[in-house]
Each structure stands twice: as structure tokens, then as C-alpha cells.
Amino acid sequence: MTTSFVIAAPAIPSLPVVGDSKRFPVNRIYCVGR
């Protein structure tokens, strides 16, 4: 069974897991700098 959307769904933001080929989904990514 597949889901068909009327509009394209946004990509899920994710970060790579160190030492693994898998990724971890995140809601927000905060960039803190000077």
C-alpha cells in the first residue's frame, strides 16, 4: 500500500549518526554562532 499526496510532502530533516549509515530525524536544527 502506498500513500499518494495531492502536493509533495516536505523532506524530513535528519542528522547523520556517527559510526552508522542511519540518520536520526529531528524537528528543528538550531545554529548558534558569533
Four-point Cα dihedral 32, 29, 17, 24, nearest 10: 160
Q: Does residue 2 surpass a pLDDT of 80? A: no
Number of Cβ within a 10 Å radius of residue 19: 6
Four-point Cα dihedral 12, 15, 21, 22, nearest 10: -50
Q: Could you tell me the pTM of the whole model?
A: 0.50
Element (H, E) at 30: none
Domain ranges in the chain are 1-34
Q: Does residue 34 surpass a pLDDT of 80? A: no
